[in-house]
Amino acid sequence: MARLNPVFVCTSCGGESLKWQGQCPACGEWNSLEERRASGIRAAPAAAAVSLAPGAVLGGGGERLPSGQAELDRVLRGGIVPGSVILLGGDPGIGKSTLLLQVAAHVAATRPVIYASGEESVAQVGLRAQRLSVAAAGLGVVSETDCQAVLTLVAARQAALLVIDSIQTLQSGSVAAGAGAVTQLRECTAELVRFAKSGGAAIVIVGHVTKEGAIAGPKLLEHLVDTVLYFETEAGSRYRIVRATKNRFGAVNELGFFAMTGTGLKEVKNPAAIFLARAPQPAAGSIVTVTREGGRPLLIELQALVDRMRFGAPRRIAQGLDANRLAMLLAVINRHAGVALQEHDVFVNVVGGIQITETATDLPVVIALASSLKNVALPAQLVAFGELGLTGEVRPVPYGDERLREAQVQGFRVALVPRDNAPRKPPAGLTVHAVSTVAEALAAAFTRAPGGASAE
Ligand code: TYD
Ligand code: MG
């Protein structure tokens, strides 16, 4: 059993090979393989298993730490789990440091917290804290890039929370590569995870997403951590959305909404209509839908533009929606509603920078496409939602009643919905048109005064 095979590890990509080679077989880098003795092969003492019998005392756990931001706690499903590791990704400048300084200061009111900033000096973090009017004696700020040094400090202070801003600036002495290299990102994150799991502290790691680094950055670390959060926004918007893409402690279908203000990020308590800032005159190609992205009904404006193709192959561009889904919808309306766009460039945009993953936008997208093609504006007080099938049928979506209620609360008067979503008794003041096929839906959307004849 006591074999001690040498293993050669690439300092640039972390790939392993059993013999030394001049070029790493994984990433093609030259002279990057270093010998490392595989340590785990020796006969190790047996690990102790813990029985999960009902009522067994499992230790760990403990109270979740409220972050002080209800929207963030909502995404985390009830606050920060002690000993857990959270990765917060997002574009540079989106507000990661701002949010985490606010959270660190809040937690520091009751428990010791360390904010390790490799990007900014202590003075800069201090100035920001003043600007945000957050000050807490229990919050220790350190400008340090050495992973071990940070963890030693956290252990000495017995901190309950550690913020690493950012993982791209952290370095571990056990790896030769420079900060930000793939092996450094992996090794530092692994060290942080080991520390957290041995009862150290909850750790929040900031990871920048760069244009080319979407893969080389936070994505590489997702499997190591417990929870992965991403910041989303649209250029120029003050709203910020926090989405969980992974959470070992709860479901991931909630979104948290924030607004960037002069004094930091403020949570948006009722986000239903924050993305609705439409032109006073209805424009062709624009429609409002009620989505349930993120566990709450949200009114969102969808915009479509179809334009005669200039040259080559027609373009299909989808912002905030799945481009493959758009291609499918184009085929469905071509075949089942006689709307032919093979000779057109097609652009679809979700206003507000939110990514929509549910299928309830199918019906409003095709109505917006038809509206742009005909150059006929839809009534401003119309909302639509519903899924489309390949045979042109309009399928029901979950939470139909809730969507209709929110549309009514926000002042919409007409709703175009799948037949199976039509309520027996619509909310007062809302006329509901139930449709079964895409052809029916387009006919209903473009008949004059669709408030007149209710289908139900
Ligand atoms: P920051 O948290 O530094 O972004 P990140 O850490 O994700 O790179 O946020 C920087 C932006 O936020 C910057 O453009 C200024 C703006 N901001 C405000 O609008 N108000 C504030 O109170 C603060 C602290 C920053
Ligand atoms: Mg920052």
State the Cα–Cα distance between residues 204 and 150, nearest whole angstrom: 13
3-state secondary structure at position 230: strand
Q: How confident is the model at residue 4 (pLDDT cuts 50, 70, 90)?
A: low
Ligand 1 neighbour 95 (Cβ under 6 A) = yes
pLDDT recorded at residue 40: 46
pLDDT recorded at residue 215: 47
pLDDT recorded at residue 337: 96
Ligand 1 neighbour 128 (Cβ under 6 A) = yes
Q: Across the chain, what does the average pLDDT equal?
A: 89
Give the distance (Å) from ligand 2 centre to CA of residue 94.
8
pLDDT at 272 over 50: yes
Ligand 1 neighbour 94 (Cβ under 6 A) = yes
pLDDT recorded at residue 413: 95
Ligand 1: which atom is nearest the Cα of residue 132? 22
Question: What class has domain 70-269?
Answer: alpha beta
pLDDT recorded at residue 288: 96
Ligand nearest to the CA of 91: 1
pLDDT tens-place string over residues 193-231 = 999 999 879 999 999 887 655 545 778 899 999 999 999
Contact partners, residue 270, CB within 8 Å, separation at least 6: none
pLDDT tens-place string over residues 14-29 = 778 888 888 888 888 8
pLDDT tens-place string over residues 30-40 = 888 888 765 54
Ligand nearest to the CA of 96: 1
pLDDT at 93 over 50: yes
State the Cα–Cα distance between residues 455 and 436, nearest whole angstrom: 11
Residue nearest to atom 11 of ligand 1 (CA): 93
Q: How confident is the model at residue 295 (pLDDT cuts 50, 70, 90)?
A: confident
State the Cα–Cα distance between residues 42 and 242, nearest whole angstrom: 45
pLDDT recorded at residue 204: 97
pLDDT recorded at residue 61: 57
pLDDT recorded at residue 44: 67
3-state secondary structure at position 202: strand
Ligand 1 neighbour 90 (Cβ under 6 A) = yes
The secondary structure of 271-306 as a DSSP string is: GGGTT----SS--TTEEEEEE-TTSS-EEEEEEEEE
Residue nearest to atom 10 of ligand 1 (CA): 93
State the Cα–Cα distance between residues 169 and 167, nearest whole angstrom: 5
pLDDT recorded at residue 43: 61
Ligand nearest to the CA of 167: 2
CATH for 274-451 is: 3.30.230.10
pLDDT tens-place string over residues 231-255 = 988 888 899 999 999 999 988 888 9
State mean pLDDT over 291-310: 93
Ligand 1: which atom is nearest the Cα of residue 101? 2
Angle, helix 362-374 to helix 438-445, in steps of 10 degrees: 50
pLDDT recorded at residue 452: 41
Tell me the pTM. Answer: 0.81
The secondary structure of 422-449 as a DSSP string is: --SSPPTT-EEEEESBHHHHHHHHTSS-
Query: Exposure string (b/e) for 282-297, b if CB count within 10 Å is 16 or more?
Result: bebbbbbbbbbbbebb
Place of tokens 């420079």: 178
Question: Looking at the DSSP assignment, which residues form a beta bridge with residue 291?
Answer: 298
Angle, helix 323-337 to helix 438-445, in steps of 10 degrees: 80
pLDDT tens-place string over residues 336-387 = 999 999 999 999 999 988 889 999 999 999 999 999 999 999 999 999 999 9
State mean pLDDT over 173-202: 89
Q: Output 1 or 308, whichever has higher pLDDT.
A: 308
Ligand 1 neighbour 262 (Cβ under 6 A) = yes
pLDDT recorded at residue 177: 81
Ligand 1 neighbour 263 (Cβ under 6 A) = yes
Give the distance (Å) from ligand 1 centre to CA of residue 183.
29
Ligand nearest to the CA of 259: 1
Residue nearest to atom 23 of ligand 1 (CA): 264
pLDDT tens-place string over residues 404-424 = 999 999 999 999 999 999 999
Residue nearest to atom 8 of ligand 1 (CA): 93
State the Cα–Cα distance between residues 72 and 65, nearest whole angstrom: 12
Give the distance (Å) from ligand 1 centre to CA of residue 201.
26
Residue nearest to atom 15 of ligand 1 (CA): 93
State the Cα–Cα distance between residues 391 and 336, nearest whole angstrom: 7
Give the distance (Å) from ligand 1 centre to CA of residue 239.
12
pLDDT at 56 over 90: no
pLDDT tens-place string over residues 313-325 = 999 999 999 999 9
Give the distance (Å) from ligand 1 centre to CA of residue 69.
17
Residue nearest to atom 9 of ligand 1 (CA): 95
pLDDT recorded at residue 444: 95
Give the distance (Å) from ligand 2 centre to CA of residue 200.
24
Contact partners, residue 448, CB within 8 Å, separation at least 6: none
Ligand 1 neighbour 98 (Cβ under 6 A) = yes
